[in-house]
Structures are given as C-alpha cells and as structure tokens.
Structure 1
Amino acid sequence: MPGFPWKKFRRSAEVNSNSDWMSQLPPKLHTVPLYDLAIPGSHDSITYDLDVNSSIVEPQKLRRFSKICCVRKIVHRWASTQDATVTEQLDAGVRYLDLRIARKPNDPDPTRLYFYHGLYTRTDVENKHTLKSCWDIDKNIIVSYDYKANQDLWMKITYFYGNSMKPADIESRLCRALEKERPYQYFFVCGLNLTLPNDARILKYILRLCDNFHNVILRSLPKMVQWLKKQSGQKMNIVASDMVTRDDFVTTVIELNSINGKA
C-alpha cells in the first residue's frame, strides 16, 4: 500500500501489545521476585526534552563554553538518547526509568529540580509528575538512589554497561557480567547503551556535522537486540537501552521471560 506509514503502525501495535505486559504474565510468574524477571528499561529516559538554550551541565570541560550556541547544539545532538516521551515509553512497556536530576545554578527557585544529560531539560521534575501520576492511580513505584547518603530508602541498583561505542565490546562486557559479576536476589541492569569516550577520541564522533547520537544508536541497536535474543539460559533482570521504542527492543526483553524458561 503506497504511502502507508508502516513504521508508525508497527510502533502503535507494539505499544498496544506491551502496555500492560506484566499483568499478562502466566500465573506462575506472579509470585516470582522482580529481580528474577526480564524487565525493559530506558537509559537517560528524559533526554528527548533537553533544552538547547540551557547552560551545559556536563562534560565539565565544556561548561565554560555554555554561552556559545554552536557548542550547546553539539552537546544537544550527542546527549539526546531517547525520542519517545516518558508516557510513550511506559505505554510501550518500559518499566525502569533512568532519571538524572540536578538544580540549576542561580535559579530563582532553589528547590526546583530538572532532569539533565549534558544539558538541562526544558521542564522541571514537578511539571513532569513522573511519580505523582503513578501514585494517584494507585501504582507501585520502587525508587533507587545512586548516592550513598540516600540509600536508606533503597539500595543502589548495579548497572553493567560496556563503556564503548562498539556493540561487540558492549556485548562482551555484558557477557562477563552475567557470568561472573551478576548479583543474586538483587536488582541489576544490563545496559545496551553506547557510551561516548571521555577523552580526545570523542572528536571522532561529535565533529560529524551530518550525524547525531540518534543515528548512531539506530545503526547499532539492531545488532544488540539480536545479541539479546541469543541470551537463552541467562537470567536477565532489567535491560536498559537508548531509543527504547525502536527495533522491537521492548518485546525482545519481555519475551526473555518465556525463552529463558520462566513461563
């Protein structure tokens, strides 16, 4: 059918089929601890909302150049890892969100918090109502902080990632983690996300004037999803990715609950 938006249709179908996937699990999985389920997650979940006009938060070496528009635009192109809103991610089946929160310096309201990754988001945490909306409809939320001072509420969740821009390196690192480093009876995350170098090698990527992180991710994600499908027999827990509504990532993670003998 010429002109039919197949990609949009495919995404809508996946959202409809996975929006309530946890309640659709077989009855024998209803009593399985959450750390024994394969759960789709998103990495840097709010980066679809980065404000190119805000000051630079990270990397620290670029903060002094915050007033230069072209520098902010480069940071924006390479800090954005998601193209779907939180609501769209949740509707697609994502059940783990990676939220990075900070205050803006010299903000008139010192209590206002923003999400960030490279830049601040356009809207603040309160306006997003990420947690409050869930509480209002009687949904359960587990909050884990990555700071020791706040871990009385919930211990830090271990996050394994490849620290590389190469899918093969990421897959190798995650294989080692699953075999030797994976915690038992605790939550843990396998991050399929790419990671830009924190030294001069980053120039290899950010100086590509016609490229951006979205494009790089979309070129790599199919390979990592194929690797994920082959993890038969491995007990996966949370699996986090960039561009989570693409390439059947969510469906692949959910199906691990059956492939790995859990259903």
Structure 2
Amino acid sequence: MDQILSKLTNLGYEVFGIFIPGVIFGLFLLFWWIGLGSIAPYVTNGFLPEMNLSKAADTIEKFGARSGIGAAALFLISTHFLGHVLQRISRSGKNNEKILRNGFKRTAYCLFNNIPKPEEAFDTKLNGIFEKVKQKLDPEKIGFDWTQFYAVAKNYVARNSSTSLISTYQNKYTLHRSITTAAVVLFWAALISLIGGSAMSCYIPEFSPRWGILSFLIAMSLTVVWASSDSYAYNWMLFGNSVVTESYSILFEPKK
C-alpha cells in the first residue's frame, strides 16, 4: 500500500508539476503564433505558416482523429519537455517578502527578474512547533537547516500517515510557479512581436501581425503573472506549514 501511495504521489507531481504546465505553455505558444499573423512565415523563412483560429481548431481536430501511438508520444514528449524547461527556469527565484506584498511590484519583478518567494519557509508563528519537531527528528544534534529538515520530515510523514497535504501544496506551488513563468514568456513574445510587427508594417504593408490578439495576449499574460505569482507564494507557505504541523501531529499525537 505504501508503495502504491508513493507511486501515486510521484505521478501527481509529474502531472501537476510538469505535464499540465507543459500543455498550458504549448497553448500560449499557439496563441502567440496565431497573433503573429502574416509575419510568421516571413520571420521564420517559411518554417511557420500563417495560423488562425480556424486552422488551429482544424489542426487539433485532425490531431485528435489521427492520434495513434506516434502522435500521442510526440504530444507527451513535447509537453514533458516544455514542462521541464519551465520548472528549471522558474526555480531560480529569490526570497523577497517586500516585493510579494505589492501586486504591482511583484508582477514587475516577475517580468524583469525571477519569481519572488517568501523569505520564510513557513509561518513564523509555528517556530515553537518547528523547534520541538526538529529536536525530535535530529537526535544526533546535526543541526538541520530547512532543506535538511523538510526532507526528513516529509519522509517521516509519508511513512507514518496515510493522508497528507504536503504533496498537494507542493504540486500546487510548482504548478503556479511554472504557469507564471509561461505567462512571462508569452508577455515578452507578444510585446516584441507587436513592436516588431508595427515597424515591419511601415516598410512592408502586406506583412502585419494581428494587433487585437497580441494586445489581448499582453493583457492576459500580465493578469496571469499577477494572479499565479501570488498563488505560488501562498501555496509555498502552506507547503512549509504542512511539513511542520503534520510532522508535529504524528510525533506528539496524544495517547489513546
């Protein structure tokens, strides 16, 4: 039973932390491609044809109708790759509590730097509980820092509890962090395309992007960055809180 739960936990992380962000990023890139309009084949030397909503729908429908082992494998590989790219990029965020408190500053920081995260790994009101658990899980007085503590505590909870929210919150903060990164990429891609397309249309009138779609993507991506970066920080804190409180509940469970 424990092995089954462990495999389901790992599968959940792959689905919510890698696969779903990869699918969302792929859709963002598709919308950006549509927004490029007639400049897509021009700037890619014919590699990308002009795409529109009807062509995209037909492509998805044909892909679904012809989806065999090869198509499914290509889809899984591409989304898995995109998901890992997002995860790798997004993990380099710095701790910055002041930036997190202001939605405008947080959004701007995400666009020009990395996604900020809370300075503390868990709510400071849980310091007393944390110290008691750390003493119990560190009998040899190694002196656990947070990275060592949560690795040991998470493993301890997994072996002694059939229900836990630790993996749930970890999957959530990983998902929102990756979505934030995907939205940042979409913002810059749409903005550069809008500016570049404006310059191109002045010299080559027959080539122009779809202004409305690119403008919508810029606004949408900013909204997603604002909302997802906040959700990431919130679930990051809940993850740390769950590690501390769940391990405490098991270690100091009242005797029946």
Note whether the superposition's TM-score is higher than 0.5: no
Structure with the larger strand share? 1
Structure 1 or 2, whichever has the larger Rg, is 2
Structure with the larger helix share? 2
Which of the pair has the greater relative contact order for Cα pairs under 8 Å at 6+ separation? 2
